[in-house]
Amino acid sequence: MSQLNEAIPAQIPVTLLTGYLGAGKTTLLNRLLTASTGKRYAVIVNEFGEIGIDNDLIVDADEEIIELNNGCVCCSVRGDLVRILGGLMKRPDRFDGILIETTGLADPAPVAQTFFIDEDVRRKTKLDAIVTVVDAMHFLDEVRLAHTMEEQVAFADVIIVNKCDLILPSQLVALDRHIRKLNPYARVHHAERCAIDLREVLDLGSFDLDRILETEPDFLDGDHHHHHDGGIGSLSIGHPGEVDPDKFFPWIQQMIERFGPDILRMKGILALRDDADRFVVQAVHQIVEGIHQRPWKTDESRQSRLVFIGRRLPEELLRDGFQKCCL
């Protein structure tokens, strides 16, 4: 990053709502808008559905995916979002946030990548969270048929399992297990008619990265690798200490270039040698970015962890490579 002499304007948080057809995205959207009284949101939808949206400013997008490099899906962005977000920034009234509802069939990658790749979009907005709504009744049947549903779950920071009242508790356990296999790092909430506290969905901040350092029952044995038949799996690699930045950065760059198409998301928190700050990295396919997040607190143990969600992840290669970067 070059040192440019510019004040960084406050970035407006953007929440991305995904989910398969009929899962309840618009219901969630209306709940959020109703519950957040006194706040102003711009809502970007793809098509006006049968359910009306109760908001002053609704923008009609047209899901236009633009490939920046010839044929590489990893470098595709949503051209319409670049245009719409640019237009919204011209308005004088500051929004508290922007909510984007995608169509049920949308691949979340180009939307997420838009917030990493496009310079104008990055400067003025930040992706706060990807929220995926899952239809409890139909997910397990439909996921076999639709690749998109898996990716929507794999990409999520927050997953709302909706219509939980329509299935048996045992079915819900099986559903949770399936979702956890696809994405062990997202926050999962159970809901009926998308009733959820908006604090669980809005203004989460920076992809909720702290979560990856939390110990979960699933992860008591440290490093973890989940796989399932559909090919999407996850991998968590930890190290109870520091990593060598001179080794780590070339290595992760190489891994991302090589396996980017299969890596849906990667997140990491690193304690770099000779660095007082917590360093956080994240990637969507081949787009990686890293920032100094904040100083490590005195009561925190300096540790490092990377988590990957993707298809056919080369577990041994990633694990061995990372170990070589550890101090």
| Pick 120 or 210: Cβ nearer another protein | 120
Closest distance to another protein from the beta carbon of 150 (Å): 27
Q: N- to C-terminal Cα distance for the chain?
A: 26
Closest distance to another protein from the beta carbon of 82 (Å): 6
Say how far apart CA 23 and CA 316 lie, in whole Å.
Answer: 37
| Pick 7 or 168: Cβ nearer another protein | 7
Q: CB-hemisphere CA count at 13 Å for 209?
A: 23
CA 294 to chain centre: 21
Q: CB-hemisphere CA count at 13 Å for 283?
A: 25
Binding site for another protein (CB under 8 A): 2-7, 57, 59-60, 62, 64, 66-70, 77, 79-80, 82-84, 87-93, 118-120
| Pick 75 or 271: Cβ nearer another protein | 75
Closest distance to another protein from the beta carbon of 95 (Å): 12
Closest distance to another protein from the beta carbon of 85 (Å): 12
| Pick 69 or 323: Cβ nearer another protein | 69
In one letter, which amino acid is 251?
Answer: W
Residue (of 63, 179, 54, 169) closest to 111 by Cα position: 63
Closest distance to another protein from the beta carbon of 57 (Å): 8
CB atoms within 10 A of CB 46: 17
CB 241 within 8 A of CB 327: yes
| Pick 9 or 217: Cβ nearer another protein | 9
Closest distance to another protein from the beta carbon of 63 (Å): 10
Residue (of 216, 236, 217, 214) closest to 225 by Cα position: 236
| Pick 87 or 295: Cβ nearer another protein | 87
